[in-house]
Structure 1
C-alpha cells in the first residue's frame, strides 16, 4: 500500500491569522509608505483602499479553494489540479521564487533597521569580511528563523504571534499619537489637497509598489495541511487578516499625510517621498516622544514576522512540489520527530541567503510583485475551472457571482502586471529569465518525473482496488513456460490477470500494416500461453503489437493495458551486438510504468525446492525480498537469504553491508534469517551458493555499462553455468529517479 506523508495539524485560527497579518504588515508598511506617498501624493489613501479591494477579489478565491483542498502548496496545488501542464509547475516555481525574494528583502530590511538602531546608540560603523554588518545580520536572522520553522509549525506560529502582536501595538501607538496631533492642529484637509496631485498614473504606480504588502492570504493557504479544521479556519483567517490589515494601512497613510509637518514650501507627501524608507521614523519623531526609536523597533519586529512567514511559506511550496515529483524527492522529506519538511526549509533558507548576499534585490523586488500577480491570475482561472469540473468539492466558503468576480480579479491583476513591467523594465528581464529557467527545468527534468509519479500513483491505486495485471512479453515458444511461470506466480499473489504480449517488428521505413503477416504467425504461441495460464486458474488475454521496435511495443502495451508488472526474458548467452541491443532495450524499459522482472534461464513448474535471495540494499533488493515468498508459495520451496561479502572489504565496510542487508529484509517485512558468506567476488559466491533445484531471486545489481556490453553481468554468469534460473527485478519508481545516475555512471540497484 502506498504511504502518504502528511504534516501534523497543530495550528489554530489565531496562529494562521497572525501568520497572514505578519506577512502583510511586513517591511512594506514601514519602508514603502514614504516612497509610495512620494509617488501617489495624498492619494496614498486611495492606493491602499484600491489594493485592499483588488486583494479581496483574489482572497475570496483563496478562501474557497483553501477550504476545499487541505494540503501544503496553496495556489500551486490548485493550479496543478485544475489547469493543464505546465501551469501547475510554473505556479509553484513562481511562488517559491517570489516568496524567497520577499524573504530576502525582509532579511535585508531587518539588517538595515538594526543598523539604524546601532547608529542611534552610538555604535561604531564596521563590517565583517567582504560583507557589511547589515548583510551578516540578515544571514543570522534567516538562520534563526529557519531553525524555528524546523522545530515545528506550532513553534513557528508562536514566534510569529509574539512579533506580530508587538508590531501591531507599535503601529497602533503611532496611529493614536498621530490622530491626537491632527485633532489639536486642525486644518487637516490642506494636507490632502489636491488629492490626485500625481494623477492616476501615480496611483497605479504606487499600487504596484505596495501590492506585495497584501499577499498574506497565499501564505495562509499554504498552512492548510497543518491547520486544525482547515475547512472552517482557512476562510476565516483569510478575511480576518484583511480586516485587520487594510484599516491599519489606511490609518497609517491618513496619519502620515495628515499629522506630519513638512519644511516650509514643501508638500507633505513630497517630504515623505524624500525621506523614503525612513519616512515613518521621521514622522514619529515629530509627534511622539521616542517615536523614532519606537518605529525602528516596529520595523525590526515587522521584518522578523514577515521573514518568519515567508520562510514557512517558501519551504511549503518546495515541499509540495517535491512531493508531486516536480522537484527532487529529497525536498519532500519530513522529519520523523518534528513532522516538518526540514530539507525544504534548508534549501529555501539557502536560496534566501544567496539572494540576500549575491543578487541586487532592489532590481528583483518588482519582479516578485509581478510573479505574485501572475500566480493570482492562475488561481482565479483554477477557481473558474474547478467550479465546473468539481462541483462536488466540500467548500467551506463559496465565491459569489462566479465567473464575474474571478474575471474582475484577473483583469485588475493583468493591468497591474503590465503597468509594472512597463515602468520597471528590469522586472521584465527578471521575470522572463526566471520563467525561462523554470521552463527548462520543467521540460528537461520535472515533466518526465511527474509523468512517472502520476503513473506510479495510478499503478498503486489499481493494486489497492485489486485491479492487478501482469504483462508477459514472449518472443519465442522456447521461453514460454519460464516466463509464464513467473507471471502466474505474481498474478496469483494479487488475484490479477495476465496480458500475454508478442511484438511483430517491422523494419524502419516500412508501414506498420506490413507487419500483419508476422503478427498472424505469433497467434499460435499466444493461444498456447493463454491456455497455459488458464490451466493454472489465471485469466489471460493475448495481445499482438506491431511496432518498428520491440522495446517500444512492449512499453506502450504496458502503458495502454495499465499493467503493474512486466515479465520478459533475457538469453543466457549473447554476442557483443546482441548485448548492445539488449542494453538499448534496458534503457527504454526504464520508461515502463510498472515493475519489471527479467528472467534468465529456464523456470520449470516443478523441481524448484529453494528460493535463493541475495540481499543488498536499495528498492530493487527490497522488491526481490517481497517477491521471494510469492515464488516460495508457488513452488512449495524454502527461502535462503544471503549477503555476500567480498574478501577485500574492510571490517567496517563488511559490517555496514550486513547492516544494510538486514535493514532491507526488515523493510520488506521478511523474517528470514540472513546468512553471511565471505567470498572472493559476488558472482563466485552466488555460484557456490546455488545448487540444483534453486531459483535465484535478486534485485537488479550494479553493473557498469561497458561490463554489460563487453563482459558478463552476474545474472548472466550464473545462468550460463546452468545451475539455476534467475529472476532479476527492478522497482519502477526508484529506478526512474536514478535514470540520470544510470545514464552517466551505469548504476542501477
Structure 2
C-alpha cells in the first residue's frame, strides 16, 4: 500500500517534525507498547528448561514485536497521500489520537476501519490475557513468599490455577480502566514500567556482583557488562524524568500507587516475610530503647571479644547492644519443626552474659532461619541497627550481607593477644568515608579504655592531593575532638613497589596493636585487595570497617520528626492517640506467644 502512493518518500523527509523533545515524549508514552516480554520471565515456573528457553523467548518476542511495529508505521505513514488528506501523514494520524490508525485505514481498503478494529480487538484480547496471566502469577508468587496475604497463593482445587490472584488482578485492572482516562493510564503505566526496568538494570548489576564468587552458570549473560545495564538505567531514568515535566499527572498517579504498595509492605508484608523466613523465637529486650543501636552477631569463639568492642562504642555513643544468635535449620526441614531450638539458642548466651556490664543497655535475640544472612538482615531492619559487629571470616565472602545491609559494619579478625592489642589502635587512613569511620571507632574505644591511637597514611598520590587528605584527617580529628596522637606517613621505596609492604613494616613497630582498616573504595569488590592483604599478613587484631552512607537514617528518625509536627496540632495529635489505642486493642485480641520459644509449639499442636 505504501508503494501505491507516488508521494510516499515525502512522508519520511521531515523525520523529527517536533524535534528531539517530541521524540522523547513519544518514547515515554509508547514505552508500554513494548512492555510484555518480561511476562515470559514471570511464567518461569511453568516453562520447560527455563535457563535456555526464557532468554531465547524474550529475544524472539522482542524481534517480532519491533518488526511488526516498524512495518505498521511504514505502511500507515507512507501510504497516506498528503495531497489527498490535506496535511502531513503523521499529523493526520496524530490529530485523531488512538483512532488515527482506523481513520487512515479508511483510505486504504474498503471496510478498512472494520478490519483494523477487528485486528485491534483480537490483539487487545491477547494482550489482556497475557497481562492477566502475568499479574496473577506475580501476585501468586508474592503470596507464596509472604509478600502478600497467603490467600493469593491458593490454587483452584480442580484447575490448579491461582484463581484468587487472577480475580483480584482483574478487579484492579477494571477499576483503573473505569476511573482514569486511557491516556493517563498509559502514561502512569509507562512511568511505573520505567521505574521497574530501572530497578531491573540495577538489580542485574547487583546480583551479578553478589554471585560473583559463586561461579554460577547462566543461560544468558548480558554482553559488555556492566555497560549495557548502566546505559539502560540511564535511558529509562531520563525518560521518566522527562515525563515528570511533560505529564506531571502520570507521576502523581505512579507515586500514589507506589505509596500504597509501600504502606502494605511496611504494615503487613515485611513482618510476615520475616516471620516466615527468619522467625524470632526469643526476644529479651529492655523496656526502653536507645537511639544508637549496635548488633553483635553471635559467634562461639569470638563473641566475648566482639562484645568488648560493642560495649566501648555503646558507652561513648550512649547506645544499646543487641546480641543475635542464629540457629541454622537445614533447608529440607520446615522452620515450624524446629520448635525446641529456641532453648538451645538461649543457652549460648550464658558465658557472654558474664562479661557484659549491666550499666550498658543490652538485649538477646534468637532467630531460626535456613539462611543466617536473612536472619541478620531481618534483625538489622527490625531493630534499626546503626552499626553491626561480626566475625570477618563470616563477612569476607558474604556479598549478600554487604550489599543489602543498611548499617555500618565492623569485621573483626581477633589476634592471639586480643586484650593487649586493644591497648594500641593503629588507624590506616585511605581516601574515603570508610577511613573516617575507622577514626571514629578508634576514638570511641580509646575514650573508653584509654587506648593509644596512631594514624598511618600510606602515601600513593600527588603532593597536592596528599595535602588535601591530611587536611581532611585534621577535620575529622577536630570533629571527634581527638588530640595528641601520633601521625605517620609511609612512602613506597620505589614507584612500582606496593605500599602495603611498607605499611606492614610500620604496623609491626609495636608488638601489640589493633589495626583498623577501611574497606576500600573498589567499585567491583566489597574490600580492596590492599585491605585484604594487610588483614591476611598482619598477626595482630584487625578491624575492617565499612561505612554505609545512610546508617544514621532509619524509619524511626523520620517518624520522630513527623511526630513533632503532629504534636503541634491538637486535632492531629488526638487522632494519632486514638489510632494507637485502636491498634493496641486489635493486638490485645490476637494470639500471644508469637515472639517466644512457645510459638512453634502452639503451631505444631
2:190 matches 1:369: yes
Over 3 Å counting, the alpha-carbon distance change for 1:282 and 1:452 in structure 2 is same
Match of 1:103? none
**What is the aligned partner in structure 2 of residue 398 from structure 1?**
221
Deviations 1:645-699 (A, max 9, x none): xxxxxxxxxxxxxxxxxxxxxxxxxxxxxxxxxxxxxxxxxxxxxxxxxxxxxxx
Q: 2:242 aligns with which of 408, 411, 419?
A: 419
Match of 1:443 in 2: 266
Q: 1:502 to 1:461 in 2, by over 3 A?
A: closer
Q: Which residue of 2 aligns with 1:193?
A: 13
Structure 2 distance, partners of 1:273, 1:331, is 42
**Offset at 1:273?**
1.2
Q: Distance in 2 between matches of 1:233 and 1:706?
A: 50
Question: CA separation in 2, counterparts of 1:353 and 1:389?
Answer: 40
Q: Where does 1:601-640 land on structure 2 (aligned, <5 Å)? A: none
Q: CA RMSD in A?
A: 4.1
- Return the alpha-carbon distance in structure 2 between the equivalents of residues 298 and 707 of structure 1: 55
What CA distance in whole angstroms lies between the structure 2 residues aligned with 1:729 and 1:328?
Answer: 24
Q: Does 1:261 align with 2:81?
A: yes
2:115 alignment partner, one of 280, 291, 294: 294
Q: Say whether the 8 Å CA contact 2:147–2:273 is kept in structure 1.
A: yes
Matched, 1:731 2:552: no
Measured in 2, the distance between the counterparts of 1:252 and 1:230 equals 32
Displacement of 1:734 in angstroms is 6.4
In 2, are the aligned partners of 1:504 and 1:547 still within 8 Å (CA)? no
1:559 to 363, 367, 370: 367
Q: Deviations over 1:551-570 (max 9, x none)?
A: xx5xx342399999xxxxxx
| Cα deviation, residue 193, structure 1 | 2.5
Alpha-carbon distance between aligned partners in 2 of 1:400 and 1:707, rounded to the nearest angstrom: 53
Give the distance between the partners of 2:371 and 2:231, measured in 1 at CA: 46
Which residue pairs with 1:499 in the alignment? 347
SS across alignment from 2:358: helix
The aligned counterpart of 1:654 is none
- CA distance in 2 between counterparts of 1:274 and 1:285 reads 15
Q: Say if 2:278 and 2:369, in contact at 8 Å, map to a contact too.
A: no
Shift of 1:206: 1.1
Alpha-carbon distance between aligned partners in 1 of 2:67 and 2:590, rounded to the nearest angstrom: 72
User: In the aligned structure 1, how far is the partner of 2:264 from the partner of 2:589?
Assistant: 30
Any residues of structure 2 matched to 1:23-422 within 5 Å, and which? 178=1, 182-262=2-82, 263=84, 265-391=86-212, 392-422=215-245
1:460 Cα deviation (Å)?
8.0
Per-residue deviation, 1:500: 7.0
Distance across 2 between alignment mates of 1:707 and 1:226: 38
Structure with a larger share of its residues in helix: 1
Cα distance between partner residues in 2 of 1:427 and 1:253: 26
- Which has the larger displacement, 413-422 or 458-467? 458-467
Distance 1:407 1:561 in 2: 34
Given that 1:456 and 1:733 are in contact with CA atoms closer than 8 Å, whether structure 2 keeps it comes out as: no
Aligned to 1:513: 357
Match of 2:330 in 1: 462
Q: Provide structure 1 residue ranges, at least 5 long, that are not aligned to the other structure.
A: 1-177, 473-486, 488-495, 516-545, 565-590, 593-702, 710-727, 736-748
> CA, structure 1 residues 278+705, in 2 after alignment: closer, same or farther (shift >3 Å)?
closer
CA distance in structure 2 between the aligned counterparts of 1:269 and 1:514, rounded to whole angstroms: 78
442, 445, 453: which one aligns with 2:276: 453
1:514–1:220 Cα change, 3 Å: closer
Structure 2: unaligned runs, 5 residues or longer: 281-325, 373-381, 384-585
The equivalences for 1:502-541 within 5 A come to 513-514=357-358
Q: CA deviation at 1:409?
A: 0.7
Number of equivalences: 342
Residue 185 of structure 1 aligns to a residue in which SS? coil
> TM-score of the superposition, structure 2-length normalised?
0.50
Looking at structure 1, the residues matched to 590 and 205 of structure 2 have their Cα atoms a distance apart, in angstroms, of: 56
Q: Deviations over 1:113-154 (max 9, x none)?
A: xxxxxxxxxxxxxxxxxxxxxxxxxxxxxxxxxxxxxxxxxx
Distance 1:498 1:363, change over 3 A: closer
Flag the 1:395–1:560 CA change in 2: closer, same or farther, 3 A. closer
The residue aligned with 1:431 is 254
Distance 2:160 2:361 in 1: 49
Instruction: Identify the residue that residue 44 of structure 1 maps to in structure 2.
Output: none
| Equivalence for 1:160 | none
